Structure 1
Amino acid sequence: MDRRSFLVLAASMASCSRTAAAQSSPKALKIGWLTAQREASLTPYLAALRQGFSDLGYAEGQNLFIDYRFGNDQVGDVPSLAAELVKSGVKLIVAQGAAVSELAKLSLPVPVVYIFSGDPVAAGFADSLARPRGNMTGVTLMAAELNGKRLEILRDIVPGLRRVAIIANPEHHGVNLEKANSEQAGQRLGVDIDYYPTASPRELEDAFASIRTKPVQAVSIFSDGFAVQNRKTIIDFASDQRIPAIAAWSLFARSGAICTYGPLQSEQYRRLAAYVDRIAKGARPSDLPIQQPTKFETVVNLKTAKALGLSLPPTLLASADEVIE
């Protein structure tokens, strides 16, 4: 090969390499992140979201720019925070938790991709999981059918289990599905269910007073933002009563619940990135079905079990994704 032919070939290969790199690296994108929660409570999940973007070729600060807004537990600030993001020029908003319900009331000029702990259909965000409404879609952590499994775990942990208290936020969308599933499982297992709707700290204290009057052998916590904010109060109460508490999200086990079984939350946050990417490339939110959990985790707190004098079944320990000692 002569020198001229070599230079032409080299230039051609370099051009192809640049083209391939351009095709594999997404265009620059500016998005907003909006939640009513505090930043510290979401640190691990934001890390999972960033990993999802990294897997798709995005690098924050290079071709991905995220404008963050945290409501610091003030849901009423969500509309003004959303207006700030729109004004800053974001092309899309990623929303989390209680902020999603507030955004659904607004007519935002940008799409919204959300992660929501409740049932999007019950919340009015969708006609069905396959048919999101308006300019919003995302993923849900709701898996109501797992409540029965958690009662089975309690039955295996607590000898002669006959009565369980459910502490749940009645304003959480989908709570009726979770309650019904728990009651059906209770009938099947021979376990009576005492349901305590608690939407405020005052109602939570009233529930505690009722449980002291009518003792139970365990507490099942329906996981949502209210439960997260009050998890220490609930778990400390259960500990004082010498009874175990169980919930869906691993955060509760790390806070002292004897066990959690539910969606692998980090995976759901990671999956948000794919929807952001697809919408950025032209997909319509209404054409993207709301995703349900596909990966689950079991976390057991051996320290809590020992403090309560309970033995965890070997099968539960063997199947646990994490054992807290």
Structure 2
Amino acid sequence: MTLFLWNKPKHRPCGRCVLVALCATGLLNSDAPRPDWLRVVFLGRGTAAEDRAFTSYVNALQRTQPNTWARVRVDFANISDVPEEQQPQRIAAIARTRPAALLAPNGNVAKLATRHAPGTPLVFSTYINPVEAGIVSGMERRHESATGIWVTEQLDGKRLEVLRDAYPKVRRVAVLIDRSWNHSVNSLAPAEKAAAALGLEAQVLLADSKDEAQTLLDLPASRDFDAWVVPRSYVAVLALPMIVNRLRMWHKPLIVSSVGEVRSGAPLSYGVDTTFIWPTLAELTARVLGGEAASAIPVQRPQRFLLAVRTGAETGLQPPSMSVMRRADIVIR
């Protein structure tokens, strides 16, 4: 089992220092842990250095929950280095180490955690309905020791509409997601239906890792698409900077799912206002570690949708149409 342990030093490192240590050693630091620290295990993919969700969570916990941060240790556990059929045993083994809580950054991992680590408090984020998926039995109260965030995310039709309006010459569009996301939301049928109504042709492409996404983009056929859609499946967390750079080189439009990704260089985004996700996960963690029953904390939901546009020459594109510029909630010039 690949488990990276964060044993806190006397002086707390910043998020950037944490990443440097991870990249160099695979450990956040080597000091012995204090026995009174509470341990949270983040159920991630790959390594802590490449899993941007882990970094976002740690930074939010440090920034927004200083009292909890003073007594917590966050460990990173890679559950993606075994076949899917072995992941339940991996999570059960992690639970047997008796962490104070588990953090599941996506719905499929959360579902495994509630089933195979039932005695361990769980904080989760999911883009699939947590009740329908069997993560929890209720949104307000439930018998599972779990709470989290449900981000309703079935917006690919709207993204295709924004993409067409921003760049009217677009016809063939690639929708890049990972397999678990495709299995959960069945992206192909909705994307094809929405595309046909807009006069577009959409093709769903699947990749589960940065390497797999890069291999896909290296295929000559990938350059034939007029534009790309990258929703917030986990492959976006792992590979989006590489995807943005490649499409910029090709001068191909791209629409993603969050304002933060536009601030980092993507040209367009439409999606739920996700700025609340990591601070809310940090708050829920603090409440659970503070003694509240996870089963009694309501599952949180966002209410706001944002359209963001980047217009600078660094996108490698002409600015989007004025109609989209006027509709944008955020314009980065």
Instruction: Please confirm whether the aligned pair reaches a TM-score higher than 0.5, indicating the same fold.
Output: yes
Unmatched segments (≥5 aa) in structure 1: 1-27
1:148 paired with 2:157, answer yes
Q: 1:226 aligns with which of 226, 235, 254?
A: 235
Deviations 1:15-67 (A, max 9, x none): xxxxxxxxxxxxx994625242526724444444456546xxx5642xxx222
2: CA distance between counterparts of 1:212 and 1:95? 32
Match of 2:40 in 1: 32
For 1:220, give the aligned amino acid. Answer: V
Match of 2:248 in 1: 239
TM-score calculated relative to the size of structure 2: 0.68
1: CA distance between counterparts of 2:111 and 2:69? 27
CA drift at 1:227:
2.4
TM-score calculated relative to the size of structure 1: 0.69
> Greater shift after overlay, 301-310 or 218-227?
301-310
What secondary structure, in the 3-state scheme, does the structure 1 residue paired with 2:312 have? helix
Match of 2:265 in 1: 256
2: CA distance between counterparts of 1:124 and 1:210? 40
1:124 paired with 2:134, answer yes
1:138 paired with 2:148, answer yes
2: CA distance between counterparts of 1:46 and 1:156? 38
Given the superposition, is the C-alpha separation of residues 224 and 50 from structure 1 closer, same or farther in structure 2, using an over 3 Å criterion? same
Given the superposition, is the C-alpha separation of residues 208 and 219 from structure 1 closer, same or farther in structure 2, using an over 3 Å criterion? farther
Match of 2:167 in 1: 158
CA drift at 1:193:
1.3
Unmatched segments (≥5 aa) in structure 2: 1-35, 83-89
1: CA distance between counterparts of 2:173 and 2:225? 5
> Greater shift after overlay, 111-120 or 302-311?
302-311
Whether the aligned pair in 2 keeps the contact of 1:52 and 1:271 (CA below 8 Å) is: no
What secondary structure, in the 3-state scheme, does the structure 1 residue paired with 2:173 have? strand
1:103 paired with 2:109, answer no
State the percentage of identical aligned residues.
21
Q: 2:304 aligns with which of 295, 299, 303?
A: 295
1:68 paired with 2:78, answer no
Q: Which one has a bigger Cα radius of gyration?
A: 1
2: CA distance between counterparts of 1:120 and 1:305? 39
Given the superposition, is the C-alpha separation of residues 167 and 273 from structure 1 closer, same or farther in structure 2, using an over 3 Å criterion? closer
Match of 1:20 in 2: none
CA drift at 1:297:
3.7
> Greater shift after overlay, 148-157 or 274-283?
274-283
Match of 1:114 in 2: 124
Q: How many residues align?
A: 285
Given the superposition, is the C-alpha separation of residues 318 and 239 from structure 1 closer, same or farther in structure 2, using an over 3 Å criterion? same
> Which contiguous aligned blocks of 4+ residues in structure 1 show a shift greater than 6 angstroms?
none
Whether the aligned pair in 1 keeps the contact of 2:114 and 2:122 (CA below 8 Å) is: no
CA drift at 1:240:
3.8
CA drift at 1:155:
1.3
Deviations 1:113-151 (A, max 9, x none): 21234443564313565676622221133421x222211
Whether the aligned pair in 2 keeps the contact of 1:196 and 1:207 (CA below 8 Å) is: no
Given the superposition, is the C-alpha separation of residues 130 and 250 from structure 1 closer, same or farther in structure 2, using an over 3 Å criterion? same
Whether the aligned pair in 2 keeps the contact of 1:148 and 1:185 (CA below 8 Å) is: yes
